[in-house]
Amino acid sequence: MTSIPTSAPAPARAGAVPLYVLGGALSMLGNASIGIVLPWLVISRTGDLSVTALVATAAGVAAVPASLLGGRLADRFGARRVAVAADLGSASAVAALAIVDASVGLTVGWFVALGVVGALFDVPGMSARQVLLADVARVGGRSVDLVAGAYQTAFSLSFLVGPALAGILLAHLDPIDVVWVTAACSGLAALLTWSVPVANPEASAATPLPGGGWGVIRRDPRLRATLVIALAATFVTPPLLSVVLPGHFAALGEPGAYGATVSAFAVGTIGGSVLYAILSRRSRLLAYVVGIAAMTTGMVTMAGLGGVLTVGVGMAVMGVGSGLYGPVWNVFVAEQVPVEVRARVLGWVNALALVAGPLGLGALTLLLTVADLRAASFVIAGVWGAVGVFALTSRSARDVARPVQEDAEHAVDR
C-alpha cells in the first residue's frame, strides 16, 4: 500500500475519522429506516402481506451475489469509491419508489425490482466501509481500536434510532414523504464518505493473491474459525428475532414488549462498543473473551422464554457481547487480512452469512413441526452455546484478538 506523505494536510487528517464514522452512521440510518418504511409502503399500496414477504425474499436473494461482486469491485477500484457508489445507488433506488409512485404508480413488479436494486448496494457498501477502516485510522493518526470502537458505536446508535425515527415519521407523514428522508440519509452519507481523506484512493490489488478472497480464507485458520462463528450467529439470530420472540410475546398478549426487547439489544450493543474502548487498552483478547461469554450468557438467559424483564436482560447482555465482538473482528480485518483481497474476504463472509439466515429459518420451521416454541428456543441456545465454547477454546478463534506482533509469535503454533 502507498505510504502516507508526512506532509498530509493537518485539517484533512483531523477530519478523517469523524467523516468516516458519520458517513457510516448516516448510511446505516438510511438502511435501518427503509427496512421499516418499505414494508409499510408495500402494505399501504397493495394491502397484501404476501407481497411484503415476496419483496423481502427477492432482496435477500439478490444480496448474496452482490456481496461477492462488491468485494471484487472494492479490491479493484478502491473501497471509498465503492462505498460512495453503494450509497448513491441505494439513495437512487429509494428515491425511485417516490418517483414511480407519483408517475405510473407502484405495483408488485416495481416493488420487487426496486427492492432488488436497493439490496444490490447495501451489503457491498458495508463491506467497503470495513475495508476503509485501516486507511482512515492511519490518515487520521488514530489507533485502529479507537476507530473500530467509534464506528461500532455509531453503527449501533443508527440501528437503534433508525427504526424508531421511521416509526415516528410514519405516524405523521405519508410513507412516500418518509421515503425521501431515507434517500437523503444515503445521499448525505455518500457525500461525507467521498470527503474522507485516504492514503490510496485507487485500487490496492496490483498483485492478486492465489485463490482470491476464498483462497485466503481457506489457508488462514483464524478466518476459518471466524467464519464458523459468523455463520452460527446469522443461523440463530433470524429465527430468534423473526419467529421465537414475536411468537412468545404474542402468546403473552404483550406485542409491544417485542420492540422493547429488540431495543434492549441495540442499547446493549452501544454499551458493548463503549466497553471495548476500555477493555482493548488492556487486552484485545480480554474484550473478545468477555464478548463471546456475554453473547452466550444472554442467549442462555432468554432460552426459557420468561417474562419481559428476563428476555430484555438477555437481549441486552447479548447486545453487549455483540458490541464487544464487532470491533475485534473489524480490527483483525484491518490489521491482518491482506489488503489485496480484504474486500473479497469480507464479501465471502457476508455472502455466506446471508445464506445462513434463511437456512436457520428453514430449520426452525421444521423443528416447530415436532416441538413447541420453548423447546425450539432451548435448541437455538444450545447451538450457540456449542459455538461459544468453540470460540473460547479454539486457539485459531482466539488468535483473531491477538495484536499483530503477538500473533506473529504464535504463528508457529498454528
> Are 287 and 391 part of one and the same domain?
yes
Instruction: Tell which of 159, 192, 225 closes a domain.
Output: 192
Supply the pLDDT for residue 232.
92
What is the number of other CB atoms lying within 10 angstroms of the CB of residue 63? 22
Percent of the chain's residues with pLDDT above 90: 31
> Are 84 and 216 part of one and the same domain?
no
> Are 20 and 143 part of one and the same domain?
yes
Can you tell me the distance from the alpha carbon of 294 to that of 316, in angstroms, rounded to the nearest whole number? 9
> Are 237 and 371 part of one and the same domain?
yes
Supply the pLDDT for residue 6.
40
Assess if residue 7 is contained within a domain. no
Can you tell me the distance from the alpha carbon of 95 to that of 188, in angstroms, rounded to the nearest whole number? 13
pLDDT, tens digit, 9 for 90 and up, residues 176-198:
888 999 999 999 999 999 998 87
Supply the pLDDT for residue 398.
93
CB 322 within 8 A of CB 268: yes
Supply the pLDDT for residue 404.
63
> Are 222 and 287 part of one and the same domain?
yes
Assess if residue 353 is contained within a domain. yes
- Residue closest to 314 by CA, chosen among 292, 295, 290, 288: 295
> Are 134 and 250 part of one and the same domain?
no
> Are 234 and 138 part of one and the same domain?
no
> Are 139 and 32 part of one and the same domain?
yes
Can you tell me the distance from the alpha carbon of 241 to that of 233, in angstroms, rounded to the nearest whole number? 12
pLDDT, tens digit, 9 for 90 and up, residues 374-387:
898 899 999 999 99
> Are 178 and 322 part of one and the same domain?
no
**Structural domain boundaries, residue 364:** 212-413
Instruction: Tell which wins on pLDDT, 199 or 303.
Output: 303
Please report which confidence band the pLDDT of residue 211 belongs to, taking 50, 70 and 90 as the band edges: low
Supply the pLDDT for residue 82.
92
> Are 219 and 334 part of one and the same domain?
yes
Average pLDDT over residues 144-166: 85
Assess if residue 197 is contained within a domain. no
Average pLDDT across the chain, whole number: 84
Report H helices in 173-220: 175-194, 212-219
Phi-psi region of 305 (alpha: psi -120 to 50; beta: other; left: phi over 0): left
How many structural domains are present in the chain? Answer: 2
At residue 414, does pLDDT exceed 70? no
> Are 132 and 91 part of one and the same domain?
yes
Please report which confidence band the pLDDT of residue 262 belongs to, taking 50, 70 and 90 as the band edges: confident
pLDDT, tens digit, 9 for 90 and up, residues 120-140:
888 888 888 888 888 888 888
Percent of the chain's residues with pLDDT above 70: 91
Assess if residue 205 is contained within a domain. no
> Are 223 and 92 part of one and the same domain?
no
